[in-house]
Structures are given as structure tokens and as C-alpha cells.
Amino acid sequence: MAYCWGAGACGQLGLGAAAARGPVRCRPGPEAGGGWTLLEAACGERHTLLLRPDGTVCSCGANSRGQLGRKLRPGQRPPPHSYTPEQIQALEAQIIVHVSCGKEHSLAVCNRGKVFSWGAGSEGQLGTGEFKEQSLIPKKIDGLSALRIIQVTCGHYHSVALAQDGRVFSWGQNTHGQLGLGKESTSQPSPQHVTSLSGIPLAQVAAGGGHTFALSLSGVVYGWGRNNARQLGLNHANTRDYKDKNYSQVDGFQMQLQHGLEQKLFCFCSPDKALTFLVLVDAVVGVYVNMRSQGQGNTIHQMLSSERKEAISHALGICASPTEQVFKPYAVAALKTIGVVYISCGDEHTAVLTQDGSVFTFGDDSAGQLGHRSSTQMPGPQKVEWIDGPVSHLACGSYHTLVYMSASGQVISFGRGPQRHIENGTTSNPGEQTQNFDISSLVSANDLSGVQVKMIFAGTYVNFVSTLQSQDLEQARGISPADTLQKISRLDRTVIDKWMAVTAGTDEFQEAKREIAMIFSSPACLSASFLKPSSALEANCVGVDLQKARDVFDELTKKEWIVNQINYYLWADLIPDLPLRSPHHEALSIFLLLPVCSVMYKEQNLEPFVMRLAQAINSMSDRSSNILEECWSSLSASFLDNVVQMFKKAVVSQLPYYAFPRCRDTKPLLEVLEKLYKANRKANYTLQLSNFYINEISGTFILPNDVGRWRSWQATANPCHEDDVPIIFCRFPFIFNLVSKIHVFYFDSFFMQEGAKVEAQFILRQNELLRKSELPELPVFPLLVKRSNLVEDTLRKLSLVEDSVLKKQLLVQFEGELMGLDAGGVTLEFFLYVFEEMVNPQYGMFVYCDPASPMWFPTSPSVEKKKYFLFGILCGLSLFNRIIAFIPFPLAIFKKLLDKKPSLEDLKELSPVVGKSLQAVLDYEHDDIEENLQIHYCVSWDNKEVDLIPDGSSVAVNNKNKKDFVNRYVDYVFNKSVEVVYEEFKRGFYKVLDREILRFFQPQELMEVAIGNANYDWNKFEKNAVYWGMYSPSHPTIKMFWKVFHELTLAEKKGFLLFLTGSDRIPVMGMDCIKIKFNPHVTMSEDHIPEAQTCFHILILPQYSTIEKLREKLLLAISNNRGFGKN
């Protein structure tokens, strides 16, 4: 049975001619007495489609444009009206499962997913490929024939369809942007893919007069089209969601929301504060901007670029275009968190039903159709508060809203019918006199009490209610309108079990293959299979359950035939169809799902899958790429590492082709890894940096070649020919482990030094051929210094050297000493003595907070500023020439050199007393901090009292400002107090070294490369020993040596290391780099002390007869460990 009411002047109630004479109160529907049942009703402006459970469709009402679909005999004219429902004969061969009506056109979907259209077609709304005035007979829409359509919805002059694979198609009028195809698109006579919704797992599509909505399975509402009455919910009211957020980020500009939200004023500041954009969001004219440059009185008024408008609008959940019409889908911010499950649209208003049974309405309220019962209309979606009880069903007519509450059995209608002005009491259209009526007065809340309502349907002038049959009561209890909608394909437990159990060759097997093809070809369907509950989305932008997905993929891939199917459809359909330009989080979930699919990791799939996925990610729009990086930042360490390792594995697979053009394909993989690296940094390093290292590169021929490629590329870089550039790993230094970084640095300095020699040799030979007597510049940097006045003589000579000479190999000679082949020992000794004297507190260049602390720059230097510049050159020279020289700087200096900010932890290293005191201030949680600690913004540092802020001595530190106080203290110590001398040091340091290559290192790594470390492992030192001649580990002298050595104090062992290698520091790569080589000397007696050749770590050890004699001579050698040669 069905019920209906309204004003069916054209027969659209289907109750006969008598019922068309005036409004009809709620009563049983057409053919009720015959037991006729209604599955679905669809109402146009003046016609109705009635769908029966057996799949037949009847129509009634106006037929001026053929919207009833009646077949005619030759010469017969279509009747203008039909007052009783008649079956549409052209559809009798089809089993129809769904119908929808526009103003004067009709759509029907059959059980095979094919769509038929008829009626008015002048705007292309029939989808037949032509703008045809009308079509009297239903015709299949060929443009959708390759798809299985599960839902259709009609606006006045446009149509929208949802396919089983999750894609949305639209056609018809696009005057207001209701097709969602963009501003440049005109009206369309055939179905067009709404690409802006690609990848989003959708639950419903709905259309109003000139506006359209899509609802995702996660409850996100997307709206587009006409917005003259704010029927999309996209307006400035949505900014209330941001009242508690002072700052946000929009398209590279820092955004501060001003306090005057009622005025819709926003302020966007560039990161350097140089530009300020005052943005006025106006409901009618869109977004205007007032741009002000810092320090200038003038302002520049301009319109925002369309790209920046879109960025702002998506960030704020507003429509930044003139809001009369919106041409692409926007997520309605105000509806994101309320749990929308169903949408219904009127002519210019919208109502949504939430999971808890609440109703929110927005748009035109001129007929009271929003149900707010208030004289002042609030902007944006508002809850209909007065409805008493959870709503089960919802439907919008053109100018009224209908709700049903199953718990109480009440039907409530609010709003009226259309109000038309009729001059002189006459009208040109039959039945128009009856159109001035209040449709909500034709039904009372209890008219249907006792009736088991199944669904409610609303049109312009009429309403229908379908009822449950007695046998359906238990099964249908609690069903909402959302439950009656057909769903897009997705995996569930039933489907998985069916696939795992099917037998090859059966019909079930073929059906399973079709289902796999559908789901694994569609980003939307695959994402829909693993959606998290809506409640889980609020705290995390990752909308899919990755652990569930991983488990399901692992289960499915146990079947080889399923693996083959998945492989094919990922390769052929899904990866090529990835959403690359979507501004919506939901659409990009597929990029998180693919890395947990085990087939992606198979060796044979790295190229067809992972490399193509990398190319797709690099082809994304900036906005989509930023959203994906944000999602990566939200991943747990396990799943983020999953993504990283997948792309790393693909890179490793390409390493054998490094020397071939094919290896260019590696670049997209590295670019994606770079995006992941940035996302990890944004997430405050969820993963350790070592997770990104590609260890397979270390120790291969790749590194020296790559350094050469890199330097060559830098010298000739041309963005226009980027595709022709071979792969260069040095452009992605985050993949280098520490060993690789050191090798790159050493190769680079070595090539630079050797390059100078090669160039000099070339010039020399050229001059010989030309018989010129000119000599080339020296290809080395000879430095002759006096040992007696080492520091001052060195600084004087460095101040005279040209910059280019600093990048040549340094050869040091002490005046008055024999000149020989320096394999590094003399240079090492030179740096040892120079730094030892210059860092001594007595020299006056540096200060020490206490004897065990690192050194730092003084606030009031006692030496000339130039010395810090020259000291920087010396530090650069030692590093450039691969010398480990102990300079007791703290980690903070290396942070500053790499443009990273020192922290309180660095102050604890520099001055443990001050650092611990500041930590105690931060940890103090009692309210009496001012009385108890009595600290002010005035501090004592380096014997000076300093105000951290103006008049700081009178500003007390309290719980509100203590973090600021500590930050200012740290900033003063490491930055402001030493700015002049530090900048001089830095200038000298980078005179020698290339800033870009040093940025490969982390501060701790650079520190250890420069000055080594003290991570001694004396057992490894013994284990790595090399024995020459008669010596072996079992030789008596060797056994005595190691017994004596291990009994030495730490200071004595370090002294021996200095004696052997010229330094008591350990190289950054550990004790494995120090291999002591024992060499017996046949002419030396046990009266000789041991000798060392520091360049090669050779210990010339005489044979001693007793352990006492060996100990005596060894200690004597250690105590005389100064002077090259050590003899």
C-alpha cells in the first residue's frame, strides 16, 4: 500500500481526474484497493514515476515534454496529462530498480545498471548526445553503457549518476556549475566524468534545482552548483570552525584569523613578514585582498589569483569564488563532523540526516522549508531543534521538507508549496489556481500512526509514502533511506571468503574475477573496503585502516589466481587512474593503501608498479601533493617505514644500471623519497634518518662517479634539459649513510685538489709545445711556518693567501727542518700544535664556563676580530685536507654552521650549571615561581649583566613567560652575544669549504668528521692489529706489549694513540679505521725506545726480553710523543 497527498492539478497524484481539482489530504495512494505496492516514487515538477517491486514503472501527471514515456500510435499526439498511473511500455522488458525525475525529464536504472532517459532534453539532460527538445520514449544512454550505474539523481535541467566503480558522471545544463566540471565547461548532452571526485568512496549523489551533492561513505559532504540562497552550505559562516585557531598555513603564507570574524576578515602574512594580505571574504563578490608591504605606507588593492583563492577556500571551508555559483565540488566544512548519512535537496534548499537522527537544513527559507522557526535566518547548516525524537527518513520537496520518525510513527512536514502571483485571478496553465497552497497543512503528524512506513518521497506539489508488507516488518525495522541506496563495490568478509573458496571454471569463479576487476581497478572501491569509522577520522587524516588492509592483502595473495588478477588490474587500470589533482583527503587514501599491498614488493613488480606509482605521485598537483605529505606525516612509524622501504627497494633494483640511460627512471623514486623525508621531518622524525639510507650505495663505484656527475651538472645546469640529466644521487643526500657522506666529501675535496694538479700539468705541457717559459700556478698550497712562532706566523701567511689557493692540497713545512715527502704526518702535527695553542684559555680567543666544558666565543673579545676569520679558515683547511684535529667546540657550533637552532640541551653542554638551572625553571609548576625563584629578564653571562628584553631587570619570570625567558637566554648565549665574532669565524670556514656539501651532514655527524670522537674500543684496537715480519699475535714481545698496553691508564692509552697516529681522537667511522702495524727492527736493540711512523700507523717495536723493560720503554716513548718522527 502507498499513501499520498498534495495538489495534483496535472494528475501527478495518480488518483484520477476528481483528485486534480484541489489539494488532497493524506490518503491511500493510487490503486490502493487492489493491493498495489510502491517500491519508489520520483516526482518532477508536474509528473510522477511510480516504481513497483516487480520492476515495472508507471507514470502520471503532465506530459507536455513527453516526460511520461508513453508510446504513441502513428499520428497520435501525446496527451497533455495523465490522471492515473499507466505502465511505461517501453520499459516493460527491463527490471527497473531505481527512478528519478527532473523538472520535465525522467531517468530509470535497470537491474543491469543501464540508464534510460526520456522527456525534455533541450539542455542535454537526457544524456543522449544531443540537445533535443524532447524524447517521448525511454532510450538507453549509450555514454554509460560500459558502466554499471547504481544511482541517478536529477536537478531541474541536469542529471547525475553514480557508477558501481565509484565514479560520478553528470550531464545537462551547467549554467550554475551544477555538473561539477569546472567553469570552462558548458552544458553537456552526454555523460561526463566528474574528475574532481575521483578516488572518493561515495555513498550517495543528490541534486536540487540547480545544485548537486555527493556524500562519501565517511560522511563528508561535497557540494557544487547554484548557491544563490546558500543551499550548498559553503559560505563565510563556516569560518566559525576556526575561531580557536590563531594560525594556519595556506599556500605558503602564514594565516592569522582576525578577531572580527563577523566581518569575515583574514590576514595572511608571508613567512618573512614582508608582505601582509588583508583578505575580505564577501558572500556576494567573493574574495578581495589588500596587500601591504612592510615599512611602506602605500597599499596595493588586487584580486587574488584563482589558484590562491582555491587554496584559501579549501583551508577555510568557504567558497572563494563569487558564491552565487560553484563550479567544482567543495567539502562542506560545517558538515564534516556531524555524521551525515543522507542528503535530500529541494529547489533552493538542502536537508541532511545524521547518524543520530538529527536534521540539519540550509538554503532558501522563504517558504519555511528549513524549519528553523526564527525570524532571523542563521547562515550555514543549522539543526532543526524542535523535532522531538530521532528522525528515520527525510525527503525534500521543492519548497518543503518531510521527515518521518519511526519510533513515534509521526510524519512531520514544514514549508509550503510554490507561491505564484496570479494577475486578475486568471492563469494560462490549467490547474495553476490550485498552486497557491500550503502542502504541509495536508498532513498531520499522526495521520500515518499505525502504518509501517518504509520510505517517504517529496516533490514540488505532491508527497508519497511507501509502506512495509507484513512479511517485511522484522527485516526492515530500523532501515534508513541510506540503507536503501545501492552501494559501490567493496571488499568485505563475505566477498573474501567467497573468493577464497571458489573453484576454477565455475560461474562463481567468473563472478569473482569480475568483482576483483571492479574493486582493484577503482581507487574509490579499494579505499571503500578499508574505511575507518567516521569517529576515527577527526583526530587523524588517515581515513583507511592500514592494518586491516595489510591483513586482507596477505590473505588474498595466498591464492595465485587472485594474485594474477590483482597484478593485472593494478597495472592496467588502477595505477593509471590514480587521482592526481584532487584537493580532498579522502581521494588520496589509495596512495596509503598501495604500499601495504604485498604484491607491490615482489621483484618483478617494482618497475611496473612502484616506479609508475612514483611517476604518478610526482605528477600530482601541488595541493594534492601537500595533502599526501600531510597524510604521510600522520602515519605510525611502522606504516611510514613501509612506504619508505618500498621505494628504497625499487631504487636498489636500479643500481646495476647506474651507468646506463635506463637509470634515469630512478629519479622519480628518489623524488618521492624526498617528499617522504620532508613528511617525516614535519612529523618530528617519526622515523630515524637511517631508515632513509640506501646502504647498497656505499663502497661502490657509484659514489666517485656520482660526485663527478654532480659537480658537472652544477656547472652546466639547465632546467629546460632536466630530462636528459643522468641520475645524480648527490642531489638526494638524505639517502647517504654516514660512510657514504664521508666518501662523497672526501672524493669531492680530492677531485678538487687533483684537478688543480691536472690543470697545472696540462698548462705545463702546452707551454712546452708552444716553447713558452711560463710556469703554471703551483697546484698545491705550500705553507712554510716557523715552529718557534707558529700561530702568529701561520695567521700572517694565511691572511696573504688568495681564496683559490685554499682549495688546493695543503703541504706544511717547518722552517729549518728537513723537507721530505709529507704523507700527512707533518700537516697533522701542524694542526695539532696550532689548535692546541689557539684554544688555550691563555691565548684569549675563547672562554670556558668550567675546565671540563667546551669552549665558546667571548662576548667581549680580547683579540682582533680578524683572528676569528683566520681561525675559521684553519678549521676549514683541516677538514678539507681530511685532518682530525681536536677543537673543543660544543655541538652548537656545528648546528649554527648548518643553519639549525641551538637549544637548551646545547646550553647544558656548554654550561651545565646554567643549563640545569633553566631546566629547573621550566620544570617548576607551582604558582609561587615569582616569589620563590625571583628571576627576571636580566641575566649574567661572561661576566656581564644583560637585559634580554628592554627593561628586563623589572620584568619577573612567571609560569606564563618562562618558556620565552629560556628561549631568549639560549638565543642570547648562542646568537646575539657572539654575532660579530661568530660571523667572522663562519666566513673563514666557508672560504675553504662548500656549504652545499656540508649540508649533507647532520650536526653531530659533521662534528665527528671534523674533530673525531672519544669512543675508544681497545679490544677492537688489538683485534685489528697487523703484524709484519717475525711478529704475530703469539710472539712473546707482542703478547707482552698487549698485556702492558691494557694495563695503562686511559690518559696513557690516549697518549700512545697520539704517539702512533698524531691524534688521540677516533675517526667518525670508529676504531676500525685505526689499524696498528707492528714492524720488528732487526738492528734495534732492547735499549731503543719504540718509534712510530704516524702517516701509516706503523709501530717499530724492538724485541724486549722482559715485560718490565717493554713497559719502561713504551712509557718513555709516550712521554716523548711530540715532534714528527717520534724518534
Catalytic residues: 1095
132 three-state secondary structure: strand
Is 202 within 8 Å of 160 (Cβ atoms)? Answer: no
User: Rounded distance, CA 360 to CA 340, Å?
Assistant: 9
Q: What share of the chain is helix, strand, coil (3-state, %, to 5)?
A: 40, 20, 40
Is 203 within 8 Å of 187 (Cβ atoms)? Answer: no
Nearest to 418 by CA among 428, 404, 433: 433
Cα-flanking dihedrals φ and ψ of residue 1027, to 5°? -120, 130
Nine cell digits for residue 80 = 497533455
Half-sphere exposure of 968 (CA within 13 A, CB side): 16
Residues with Cβ within 8 Å of 208's Cβ and at least 6 positions away in sequence, in order, are 155, 225, 226, 231, 345, 346, 347, 348, 349, 350, 396
User: Rounded distance, CA 328 to CA 1070, Å?
Assistant: 60
For the chain, the residue count is: 1127
Is 40 within 8 Å of 481 (Cβ atoms)? Answer: no
Query: Helices marked H in 881-1035 — which ranges?
Result: 891-897, 904-910, 912-923, 929-933, 962-974, 979-992, 995-998, 1003-1011, 1018-1023
DSSP 1047-1081: HS-HHHHHHHHHHHHS-SSBPTT-GGG---EEE--
| Residue bearing cell 515534454 | 65
| Residue bearing cell 673543543 | 888
Is 998 within 8 Å of 883 (Cβ atoms)? Answer: no
User: Rounded distance, CA 1082 to CA 1031, Å?
Assistant: 12
| Residue bearing cell 554499471 | 148
Q: Give Dmax over CA atoms of the chain in angstroms.
A: 136
446 CB burial (10 A radius; 0-12, 13-18, 19+): exposed
User: Rounded distance, CA 1119 to CA 1107, Å?
Assistant: 18
Instruction: Calculate the alpha carbon distances from 1097 to 1060, 1073, 1075 in Å.
Output: 6, 10, 7
DSSP 198-227: TT--EEEEEE-SSEEEEEETTS-EEEEEE-
C-beta atoms surrounding 1066 within 10 Å? 22
Sheet holding 81-87, edge to edge: 40-43, 47-51, 57-62, 81-87
User: Rounded distance, CA 1033 to CA 407, Å?
Assistant: 92
C-beta atoms surrounding 757 within 10 Å? 15
269 CB burial (10 A radius; 0-12, 13-18, 19+): middle
Nearest to 485 by CA among 150, 42, 198, 40: 150
Half-sphere exposure of 246 (CA within 13 A, CB side): 0
906 three-state secondary structure: helix
| Residue bearing cell 580557536 | 244
DSSP-derived pairing of the beta strands 462-467 and 453-458: antiparallel
Nearest to 141 by CA among 192, 88, 103, 181: 192
Cα-flanking dihedrals φ and ψ of residue 332, to 5°? -85, 105
